[in-house]
Structure 1
Amino acid sequence: MTRSPSPRLPTVTDVATAAGVSRQTVSNVLNAPDVVKPDTRGRVERAIADLGYRPHASARRLRTRKSSTIGIRLDPVTNGISGAVLDRFLHAVTEQADARGYRILLYTAAGPEDEIAQLRRLLDGADVDGFILTSTFFDDPRTEWLIAAGCEFVTFGRPWGLDDRGDPRHRWVDVDGRHGVASVTRDLLDRGATNVAFLGWPAESGAGNDRRRGWREALTERGRLGPDEIEALSLSVEDSVSLGADSVRALLASGVAVDAVVCASDTLALGASTVLGRGVPVVGYDDTPVAAALGLSSVQQPLEEVASAALSLLLDDSEPRQRLLRPRPVWR
């Protein structure tokens, strides 16, 4: 005898559609009914009753600590060097969450839209109470979706392209790459370098643009090079050892003198170092185990502090709601 499939349980989205309101309004009726107008609240309550929706864990707010579970996407491995940074962050946030009595649930996604589908599934299935998003980018649709869904979240990385200072809906913690790269560039200039090149990513990268800006500002403020000379030292490639090496090799072949190279990642720094050898200083970014093993100088992100700040913003709703932490140079 063939069993008929079990009927699908109604979700918050179903209630919102039936009542003609947003998911946020349904969430407010479930968690803070006093803020909803009586007639709207009545429509939502009738839809809940008609559908037989049970607001169990999917309607819990994070600070009620009913499930004590936080979701984080496990990023795909793009290479074995810079990918180690998020691994270290996950380890730090998992340890610190455990000390607070919370669990970390990892999920995967092929892209932003797929991740939104995963977020919806995890919320409707009552698997998590809130999220820590990583790898933010320009026009990131994930944050706006979570805001509309009334879900608690914090991002590791700024919502690039948005002027969100003071916006309570956007809680984020990030590392000031601009300051970190400017600092090592100034150090190289103080050590006698003049033509300090920057090897970074294409223009669509928010973090990459921020790091390049720090390099450019440091060179400009010293006044030793003109705008055209600085531009000639600015390189852009995808995050690849071989592409980084090819870009530096092409720069040298063009006749441009190079005293040092600052890179947007340890991956690119490794590529540059294979061309320049030990005679020209090369500084990476992220201070990965590969950089340490090969003796490459790098900029270290304070990942323990990032994890602590992210959890504090998410669990304690602490102020300020946006945290920009400073990295530190590691010279080798």
Structure 2
Amino acid sequence: MLAAAEIQTPVEREAEQAAIHSRASFPVLKGNAGLFASFTFGQVGGWLEPVPDHAIAVGLIAGARPVGLALGTLLPGRTQAELLSVAVAPAERRRGLGRRLLEAWQSEARERGAIEWRTSYNASMPGRAALEALLARAGWTTSHASGLVVVGCVGKMVDEVGTWPGVAGRLALPRSYSFDPLELGATDIEAVERYLSDPEASDMLGPIRQAERLALDFSVAIRRDGHLVGWLLAAETNRPLLGMTSDAPAIRYLEAYLDPAYRQGGIMVGAYYHCYSRQMALLGRDSIAIYYTSHDSRPRMAALTLRRFAPIAERVETILSASRRLPVPFQSPPPNGRAAFRMPDGSHSGSI
């Protein structure tokens, strides 16, 4: 039995909790931060042991214990940061800590050079409403459907593409196009940088900036008459596959780009067919292929995905995106000498 002095009234307990929350801290996490891993999803939880240089990890500590985490990444060579997850322990919610945690993450991203923050998430994600409310309170844009993620057995994908009128015949004929191993020379590197300056590639990193994560057996350089005109990049993944229970090996197709001058000839479809066929040969018909296509910058591919691939896919998921940009000063001050600000133009799309 508790002594009388140990018994707290509800008001006293609430006051004690308020005092704890007022002293909450939001440290930028470095080194081994594994104590916070339960506040993000499995694949990136491994980033916390230790935290890599590209990660932006901010913890939430209240009552001398970890109770939350905001985790994201600074995109290489960019002034953008991507928020991957933000979470607060259930018992600590509805006290304003989530917003303070997100603001601390934004502040750290800004210190590291980011002027734009963005996030993407599944439309069916549990907790979607709470996340969107948090983003709205923090001044982020209203989320919009930015793309589709398709998850399916690679054998079915190969079979489907092989039935499209003319596809098999075109791929069998000698062509000026080739799908080559991802080995880039100096001229290729110049071409990559030129293509990444294309506004339609604003959401891409290209084959150089993410070279370490690529699965080279399933990534290709697309060439026309020997010259680089695009790429299809892939990586191995063990991420939970949008609710699927399959334990088959999985390849995630990260990024596809083709010179705009050559987009009408089915070349990108040929690149996917080539890589899917190789995946099937190396990993089996039941191995999983995951790819993303953007509503924003690739509406034709999104329409093709819904028409052709959705009926045979294991899962098709709509991806929602939101963002926030910092206002930046005009290069020339206005005549009255007062500070003026504008929001930079541009668009973005996300990935899972």
Larger RCO, structures 1/2 (Cα 8 Å, 6+ apart)? 2
Same fold? TM cut 0.5: no
Alignment TM-score, normalising by the size of structure 1: 0.28
Greater helix fraction, Structure 1 or Structure 2: 1
